[in-house]
Structure formats: structure tokens, C-alpha cells
Structure 1
Amino acid sequence: MTATTTANSDAVKFAYWVPNVSGGLVISKIEQRTSWDIDYNRKLAQIAEQAGFEYALSQIRFTAGYGADNQHESVSFTHALLAATEKLNVIAAVLPGPWHPALLAKQVATISHLTKGRIAVNIVSGWFRGEFQAIGEPWLDHDERYRRSEEFIRVIRGVWSEDNFSFNGAYYRFENYTLKPKPLAPLPEVFQGGSSRAARDMAARVSDWYFTNGNTPDGIRAQIDDIRAKEAGTGHRAKIGVNAFAIVRETEEEARAVLNEILEKADPDAVKGFHHEVQNAGNASPEREGNWAKSTFEDLVQYNDGFKTNLIGTPRQVAERIVHLKSIGVDLVLLGFLHFQEEVEYFGKHVIPLVRELEAAKEREAVAA
């Protein structure tokens, strides 16, 4: 069975986390046949493209911690992966504060021309206070970080689409600025993450895509319903991406055994340090409901609560769960893996075709009804 690319724009899309940061995607001493170097990542991008993945997301980190001792910069790494592929869209994660929107707008416009418009951006409002302090960047209050991110998005969109662009915000000011060349049409997609009230409100106003941490279907549905209610009457509609850590094996017992080994070999000191940092960030929102606010130790062994989404089992079990996520409003699944190259290839051969079959069956049922 091989992966197929569907022309159906409603088909659920697949993305993978780019391991441009060392340590893999779990805070565990289990073997991870994954490397953060460029040769491994070029090959991985080519495998993913052939496997039916449409997107990859590069990570942004500035300092070491929680097993991530080395970090390649996201925008330049994204460009390298785009240069090694032909169809894959690569999303560069960026932090307002360290990046000025004029710089990012120009970087992305140039890369857009060099790669036939396949670059996108993920605007990360920030969760790692120590990282900001280490590089001398002010650490804003939770909701202020999202207000700055929203201005950042409005600015880059304005710069990409208008001449003589002017903007007078709390964080950014532009006066009659014209960027040339602008990115290729359509404009680069803008992604963002977060689970807090401020994150969802920002997504409902300005973002093309909203990434949420891993969660149960009921938890994800509640977030989507909230965003849709905020969007009502605005003409704006953000697409929804969900984090998941995939463990797909021939039997459910094999998949669960891998999960148990990851948890048994978790690095407790690193997980506790990460837990302290991210729960401070998650609880910093006024409603104390941001990312990681209710995550357990076991959840945090995977950086983005990916175990919660439960894509752990046989190819058919995982495919059925993905199609169920689609039925509640999920447009894209962002995946992490233990051994990226071989597991991305396996996922493309054994899961994505099943998803497409199940999607087609659902469409036939809808037409028949």
C-alpha cells in the first residue's frame, strides 16, 4: 500500500515536526533513531514528501534545555529543506521579539521566490521565559505576548500585500514602507499555536491556521467550537491543526509497549524542569487554561501533549481516529515520531492510504444520504 496525494481540498492534511533540535520529540532515554543534522533532515523531508505529507514545521529554540542541547535556526533550516524538495511546504517557526516583522517579511518574500512559494510561518508567542532572559529580550505578560503576535501578523500581511504600508501599533510602527519583491501569490500561510483564551481569540481574528496541543476529541472539539463562535459574522475562518505523537505498529500491543518504554525511560529531571517552565506559561493566562496548564508528568514526556491525541495502535486504528478528528473539524494532523525517517515512511505506506479510503467512504455515504 502506498501513499497517495488527493486533489480533494477537504482531505485531512499531514505535517511532521522537523527535528532541527537535538534530543528528538520525547524527553526520554529510549533510543531515538533521529538526528538533528542537515543530511538526516534533507533525507527525511524527501521521504515525507513521497509519503504524502504536505507540511513540515521547523522548531525555534535559542537556548539549550530539557534534552535540546543543540538547535539549528528555523528560517535558514526551512530554506535548506525547501531546496531539497519539490512539493513539500515548510513552516518556519519565529518569535516576535527576537524577530522584527520587517526582517521576517523580507526573509520570507525572498525564500518564496527561491522555492516557488512553499514557505509558511508559525508565529510563536513564547513560553520559555528563561530563553528570553538569556538573550536580553523583555518577557511580556501572557496576553501582551499575544497582542504583540497579533500586531506582528497584521504587519507582515500588510507588508506582503500593500505598497506604502503604514501601521501604528503598541509594538510596531511603519510609515509608507514598500517591500519589493513581495512573496509569490498566494501569500504565505500564517500558523499559530496556543490553547489559552488569548490564543484562540487571535486565531479567530487573524491566523490562517490554529495549532493546538494534543488533546482528546472532546477537548479539541471544545476549542474549535469556541473559535468558530468568535469568528461568526467576521468572514474569517482559521483552519485547525492538532499535535499528535504517532506510534503505529502491526499490533496495538506492540504500539503500547513502545509507549510504555518511552515513559519508563523518561528523564525525570528534564521532564520536571520542562514541567515547571511550561506550566508557569500555561497558568499565566488569566483563565489559567493555556498550553500545558493541566498536563501530567506522563503527558509532558512528549513536548506537545502528543500522547493525549492517542494515535497509538495499528494502522487501521490510527486511521480511524484521524478520520474522527476530521469529523469534529480538524484540518491537519502535526505528527512527531520516535524514529522519524522509517516511521514517516511507514505512516505514508500504511496509514495515509487508509485515511484516504475512509474519507472516500464517508463522502459516498454523504452523497447516498
Structure 2
Amino acid sequence: MSQPSSSTAAPVKFAYWVPNVSGGLVVSTIAQRTDWSLEYNQRLAVAAEKAGFEYALSQIRFTAGYGAEYQHESVSFSQALLHATTKLKVLAAILPGPWNPAVVAKQIATIDHISNGRIAINVVSGWFKGEFQAIGEPWLEHDERYRRSNEFIRALKGIWTQDNFTFKGDFYRFSDYTLSPKPVQKPHPEIFQGGSSRAARDNAASVSDWYFTNGNTPEGLKAQIDDIQAKAAQNGHTVRIGVNAFVIARDTEEEARAVLADIIEHAHVEAVHAFGDAVKQAGKASPEGEGNWAKSTFEDLVQYNDGFRTDLIGTPQQIAERIVALKAIGVDLILTGFLHFIEEVEYFGEKVLPLVRKLEAEQAARAGQAGNAGKAALEAVA
């Protein structure tokens, strides 16, 4: 069945990118108070949970590059964040290829028990060819990577929900396999995935619980969301939508825009171009040439996932209004990045989130009044 309009559904959810990779969330030499260490990240997780964030997304990188000299592994790092919190759900990024579904199913089921149902995964089909080559993993063509991800997700779901699971795919094969214990979460831990290409959207519309898209204009996002939800409805599938956004919330719009200008002015030009070459190869490699980053500008690429394009930059009121507008076109979750994570997450929780909830409540009240008026009109006619 199709997903209900987000304008009348549950409150929009918030996630943040875990800075378990050095360099923060911008390819810039600007001074940052964000740190990639465990101690910093555990303090951040506690602050984000207190601020009202529901999810955190740990990144996966195997090699240095593009300003990220150091990288903590995603699954073990996610578990460390879960130990520091009580409500936050942590998404561990997983790469089919380096990971086998049986290993992931076992790891995540165990962490699900340890954390009482607070682990999820983000299946990353792969965009960094050099990384795959460096660790000796085959680099598949664009749509083949998504076909492998599709099998990967179907295998995971089968292992997590069935006994004596048998699967005969082109990439993965299982014979009479029973995982025990199975995860706490039912039917299984949430499965997220990203992408913008036709293959990515089709995959989300058939097997994934959540779809992450890069930052974009409301018009660009609505076109993607409408396409995915139409396909999902045809498949009898339900998928929810998350959008990437780099948030710069300040007391005045001038302050916020000045921070953005400063980040871009200090862009690590060589690293941005190198990152752009890698990701545009991945995006343009899709048959229709519409994958992630295929049309990103230099300024867009200073933030890894086109987060500036979502334009959550300004005062708390401006940002809250834009978030509610995104919800109205079908966005269920905002995946945020910040320059100085801890203090800006705290500011967001104090200044922005209450305004979002207030606007959502006002919108719901108006929708209820309109519904009651329509009902009264029908009764009058009858």
C-alpha cells in the first residue's frame, strides 16, 4: 500500500551524521570543533538524544581521502554509541561486497539484543571505486551494484525472519540456514539505503524500509519522492523518505549565510575536485546519468551529500518552516550535518525543534478543521 502524505502523518523525524570520520562533514579547511574520537562522539550522542534526535548514522570508509584521514569502522562504533545512550537508534553503514549478509545478520541481531532494539543499517551500494580496488573487492557496474544490494537486503530479511532459509541469487546463496537468536525488532531491524538513480529508486520502492536522497530543492525532491512512492504502491511496498541537509542555524540569517560563505571560501579545492571526480563518475555511470552528484556544482560538493542544496540555513523560524514544507511534499526524516556538532545539535534542539513541532501541530489543527467542515457540509446536503 502507498505511504500516506507526510503532511498528515507522524511528526518528522531527525537524524544526524555521526562524525566517526575525521574532517567533519565539509571538505573545507575551516576551523571546526567537531572531532572524530569516541569520547567526542559519545558526548554528541547523549546531547543529540536529549535534543530530540531519533537516529544517528555512522559512516563507512575503508581508506583515507578527501580530507578524511582517519575512519572508525561503522558497526563497532555504532555499538559504542548505543552503550552511551538509552533511546537513540544508531544506523550502521554496511557495504555489500566487504560484508556478507550472513555476517551482517549475525552482527546486527546480537547488537539488537544488547541494545534492546536500537540498531539499524544503511546499505551503501558503493560510490568509491578506488576504495574497492584498494581492498581487493570487485567493482561492479552501477546497476549491478544495486542488483547486488537488492539481493543483499532480501537475504537479510529472509535470515532475520525465517527458519531454514534458502536463497538462490546471482550474488548470494543460502541453504536451509537458521539464525538464532533472531533480532529483537520485529519483523526485523530497519533497513535504510541511499541514492538518486533509477536503480536506487527502484530498489527503495521494492525492498528498503527507508530511502535517503542527497540534498536538493523542494521541486527536485518532490519529483523523486512522487516517483518512488508511485513505484512502491505498484509493488505493494511501503517506504519512508529521508533527505540530507547541512544545517546552519543562527540568530540571524546574515550570520548563517556568512558561515556558509566562510565554509566555501575555505574549501579544500584539491580534495573537493578529487571527491567530485570520484562521485560524479559513480553518479553519471547510471544508465540515465541521474545518480547522486551527477549535477552537483563545486559549491555543492564542499558538503559530501549536497547538504547545502536543501537550504536549512538561516534563523530557527526559517529552518522550521522549510522543514515543515519538506514534510508536506513527503519527507519523513531530515538527516542533518553541522559544522560544530555538539553545540549546534544543542542549539537545534532548543531553538528549531520546538518550532517544528509547533508548526506541525498548527498544520494538523487546520487539517482537522477542514475535515470537520467538509463532513458538516456533506451532512447538510444529506
TM-score by structure 2 length?
0.94
CA distance in structure 2 between the partners assigned to 1:237 and 1:195 by the alignment: 18
Distance (whole Å) between structure 2 residues aligned to residue 35 and residue 243 of structure 1: 20
Residues in 2 aligned to 1:234 and 1:154: alpha-carbon distance in whole angstroms? 15
Q: How many residues align?
A: 362
Secondary structure of the corresponding residue to residue 351 of structure 1 = helix
Which residue of the partner structure matches residue 218 of structure 2? 217
Q: Which residue of 1 aligns with 2:299?
A: 298
User: Which residue does the alignment assign to 2:49?
Assistant: 49
Structure 1 counterpart of 2:224, one-letter code: Q
**1:126 maps to amino acid:** G
After TM superposition, list the pairs within 5 Å mapping 1:81-92 onto structure 2. 81-92=81-92
Q: 1:279 Cα shift?
A: 0.4
- Is residue 2:176 matched to residue 1:181? no
CA–CA distance in 1 between the matches of 2:57 and 2:215? 16
* Other-structure match for 2:281: 280
CA distance in 2, matches of 1:212, 1:311: 15
- 1: CA distance, partners of 2:179 / 2:69: 36
1:121 match: 121
CA offset digits 1:328-363 (Å, max 9, x no partner): 000000000000000000000000000000000000
1:311 corresponding residue in structure 2: 312
Q: Identify unmatched segments of 5+ residues in structure 2.
A: 1-7, 371-382
One-letter identity of the residue aligned with 2:247: A
User: Is 2:95 the partner of 1:107?
Assistant: no
Partner of residue 146, structure 1: 146
- What secondary structure is seen at the aligned counterpart in 1 of 2:264? helix
SS in 1 for 2:86: coil
Cα deviation, 1:128-159, whole Å, max 9, x if unaligned, reads: 00000000000000000000000000001100
Secondary structure at 1:292's aligned position in 2?
Answer: coil
Aligned to 1:203: 204
Code of the residue aligned with 2:103 in structure 1: it is L
Q: 1:365: which partner in 2?
A: 366
What is the CA–CA distance in structure 1 between the aligned matches of 2:232 and 2:329, rounded to whole Å? 17
User: By how many angstroms is 1:237 displaced?
Assistant: 1.4
**Amino acid in structure 2 at the alignment position of 1:82:** L
Q: Do 2:142 and 2:286's aligned partners in 1 also have CA atoms closer than 8 Å?
A: yes
Deviation, 1:233, is 3.5
Q: Pick the structure with greater CA Rg.
A: 2
Indicate conservation of the 8 Å contact 2:22/2:69, yes or no: yes
CA contact (8 A) 2:112 2:185 kept: no
TM-score, scaled relative to structure 1: 0.97
**What amino acid is aligned across from residue 329 of structure 2 in structure 1?**
I
Query: 1:9 Cα shift?
Result: 6.5
| Partner of residue 4, structure 1 | none
What is the alpha-carbon distance in structure 2 between the residues aligned to residue 149 and residue 44 of structure 1? 31
Paired residue secondary structure (1:280): helix
AA at the equivalent of 2:210: W
Q: Map of 1:309-348 to 2, 5 A cutoff? A: 309-348=310-349
1:259 has 2:267 as partner: no
Judge which range, 178-187 or 133-142, deviates more.
Answer: 178-187
Pairwise CA distance, 1:231: 1.5
RMSD (CA atoms)? 0.8
Identity of counterpart residues, as a percentage? Answer: 70
Q: Distance in 2 between matches of 1:331 and 1:231?
A: 15
Deviation, structure 1 residue 232:
2.2
Structure 1 stretches of at least 4 aligned residues deviating more than 4 Å after TM superposition: none
CA distance in 1, matches of 2:234, 2:129: 36
> Which amino acid in the other structure matches residue 248 of structure 2?
I
Amino acid aligned to 1:123:
V
User: Counterparts of 2:133 and 2:366 in 1: how far apart (Å)?
Assistant: 55
Distance 2:102 2:320 in 1: 41
Q: Deviation at 1:117?
A: 0.6
Q: Provide Cα deviations, 1:268-288, integer angstroms capped at 9, x if missing partner.
A: 000000010000000000000
Deviations 1:29-58 (A, max 9, x none): 111100000000000000000000000000
Structure 1 SS opposite 2:235: coil
Partner of 2:375: none
Letter in 1 for 2:184: L
Deviation at 1:229, TM superposition (A): 1.5
Are 2:197 and 2:286, in contact at CA under 8 Å, matched by a contact in 1? yes
